[in-house]
């Protein structure tokens, strides 16, 4: 499920609204350790995409 989530997030990263929606879905479905891995991956993935920074607030909740 983790790899599938990464694939989906990569595909929708062109639209920050869509990205946030998919991230919310992922956070509700993934296991706690997968969320930790996703957090690490997201920090690297969004490093050069400032338009997606707003979605990172979802992770801290």
pLDDT band, very low/low/confident/very high, at 61 (cuts 50, 70, 90)? low
The pLDDT value given to residue 31: 94
The pLDDT value given to residue 47: 92
The pLDDT value given to residue 56: 85
C-beta of residue 9 within 8 angstroms of C-beta of residue 23:
yes
Rounded CA-CA distance 48/22 in Å is 19
Token pair in block for residue 30: 């993934």
Q: What is the DSSP string of 1-61?
A: -HHHHHHHHHHTTT-HHHHHHHHHHHHHHS-HHHHHHHHHHHHHHTTT-GGGGGGGGGTT-
What are 14-59's pLDDT values in tens digits? 999 999 999 999 999 999 999 999 999 999 999 999 999 888 888 8
Taking the complete model, does pTM exceed 0.95, yes or no? no
């Amino acid at each position: 499920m983790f790899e599938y989530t990464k694939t989906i997030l990569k595909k929708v990263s062109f639209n920050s609204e869509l990205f946030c929606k998919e991230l919310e879905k992922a956070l509700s479905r993934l296991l706690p350790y997968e969320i930790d891995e996703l957090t690490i991956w997201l920090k690297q993935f969004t490093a050069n995409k400032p338009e997606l920074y707003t979605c990172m607030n979802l992770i801290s909740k």
